[in-house]
Structure 1
Amino acid sequence: MIKVIWVVLPDEDQLNDGLSKLYLLDSQELNTFNQYKVNFKKLEFLTGRLLVKEWIGRRLGVPPQFIKLQKNVYGKPFLDYRCIPVSSPPLFFNLSNTKQLVIVAFHERPEIGVDVEQTDAYDFNIMPQIFTEAEIESVNEQNTHVDRINEFFRLWTRKEALMKAEGLGFSMSPLSFTVPIAPERVENAEYVWETFVPTPGYIASVVVRKEDGLSIQFEGHEISWGDLFSRDISWIDSVYWTK
């Protein structure tokens, strides 16, 4: 089961309402938080770390402030297993954020990637830099301008999610591979994608490597920012892990 959780952020002037959760950040994360010059970036960073640590902590029975994260050489974050019990099950995640939305995908295998984009900021002129000829054709052949935008971001998010699933980010050229063009849930020989609208004005894609003989299911949940930053963590149980 792939758990996908997202939060729509409030206006950046509400950052102070979330500062009570800063204790969940370690010293490196706190330094990163403080380096951001604008409140909306601080809000995105804090929200992402809170989603990951609160949910993993509940899943593994560890206080969230003890959850530690690391990054590979390409910047993909992962759980530091030195901070959890030896008997804990494998658990991996990937996160993404765009203007006022943060999304996290959880899975039991490392090849998990997620990307979300706001659909009001697009530039078709960059397609030759990121899309293959077949992908560009798929965008251009759409019947309406809105359909072109949606196809553009469906392919964009699938590509970025795959680069993140591989753990390579943009060190992996987006022109070196293709992604399926069919809408919503789709798969090829190696991966399964789920593309969806988490909230109007956004498109997100989650990708995971296929497992022989296993059916991969996606389950999505939106959490309110108020619930996430409250003292009541019952929201975690409402999206708790199910097989």
Structure 2
Amino acid sequence: MDLQIDNIGLPPDNEVHVWCAKVNRLARPLEALRGVLSEDELRRTAKLHFRRDRDRFVAARGLLRILLQCYTGVDAAALRFCYNEFGKPALTPGRNDVRFSISHSHDAALFAVAKGSNVGVDIERIRPRFANEQIAEKFFSESEVKALRALPAELQPEGFFNCWTRKEAYIKARGEGLSLPLRDFDVSLKPGEPARLLRHAQPPELARWTLQALSVPAGYVAAIAVENKGRIVRWQMSEL
């Protein structure tokens, strides 16, 4: 749904709020978003070679800060982030009840906010040239590669990115990066079928996580992984 966001407070324990924005269609000027970034974020921006990538990074990080301000009541520019050894971001100690995840691809950005439950999101633009068997064999499990090969050729790019985003959302939610072997778990990937964690080397993980595909702009696919089953509420960020 479209929403003019304000101070909205944290979601209930059984909800996760998901927001999607097209960063090339922002209601707020890019310079206003740049103004809330930290020195570290500005340094990271400067390292990006292409202007379009710098602008997308500024937009996504600025929107994240504004969104977290609406949940925490802390001014966007005053928010401070810390990172675990695998790069998973969190708000500085004292706000560890606020869990969030961010992903952006091309002109789309995706955000999730939860209270007390780990969450991960991933969004990817469907790029048929990238969705090839060599990459699948490198990053997917044997069962996933077999399922991908079984799809009609015209569905394989979507199936590839279904698998990619679901695995990425899960490892982002876990916050352990690629220290978690990608072949240790299987996800569903067939277009039109529900997102599911099908197999895991640690079977209790199957009951611990909710995996769901998300409705995003045409040409993209996205997924969310949430610790402890809850209701996923999707908001459309359109007037930031």
Per the normalisation by structure 1, the TM-score is 0.79
CA deviations on 1:169-217 (whole Å, 9 max, x unpaired) are 2232211222245723545322111113401000001001225xxxx11
The 3 A distance-change label for structure 1 pair 51 and 221 is same
| Unmatched tracts of structure 2, length 5 or more | 1-14, 198-205
- 1:18-167 to structure 2, matched below 5 A, reads 18-82=30-94, 90-120=97-127, 121-142=130-151, 144-167=152-175
User: 1:111 Cα shift?
Assistant: 2.0
Q: Which has the higher helix share?
A: 1
Q: Measure how far apart 1:131 and its partner are.
A: 1.3
The equivalent residue for 2:3 is none
Structure 2 residue 23 is matched with structure 1 residue 9 = yes
Match of 2:222 in 1: 204
Q: Which amino acid aligns with 1:175?
A: R
Following superposition, the deviation at residue 154 of structure 1 comes to 1.1
Matched, 1:220 2:230: no
Q: Number of residue pairs matched?
A: 213
1:26 Cα deviation after fit: 1.3
Point out where structure 1 has 5 or more consecutive residues left out of the alignment: 229-243
Q: What is the rounded CA distance, in whole Å, between the counterparts of 1:200 and 1:181 in structure 2?
A: 18
- Partner Cα distance (1:45, 1:190) in 2: 32
Secondary structure of the residue that 2:56 maps to in structure 1?
helix
Deviation at 1:165, TM superposition (A): 0.9
Query: Within 2, Cα distance between the matches of 1:150 and 1:37?
Result: 29
Structure 1 residues 29 and 110 mapped into 2: Cα distance closer, same or farther (>3 Å)?
farther
**Greater length-normalized contact order (CA 8 Å, ≥ 6 residues apart):** 2
Matched, 1:184 2:183: no
Cα distance, 1:91 vs structure 2: 1.0
1:114 match: secondary structure: strand
User: Aligned AA for 2:38?
Assistant: D
Q: CA deviation at 1:123?
A: 2.0
Q: Alignment RMSD, CA only?
A: 2.3
TM-score of the aligned structures, taking structure 2 as reference length: 0.80
Q: Which runs of 4+ in 1 moved over 6 A?
A: none
Partners in 2 of 1:149 and 1:113 — Cα distance? 22
1:3–1:156 CA distance, 2 compared to 1 (3 A): same
Aligned residues of 1:3 and 1:105 also touching (Cα < 8 A): yes
Q: Kindly tell me: are residues 56 and 17 of structure 1, through their superposed partners in 2, closer, same or farther at Cα, counting changes over 3 Å? A: closer
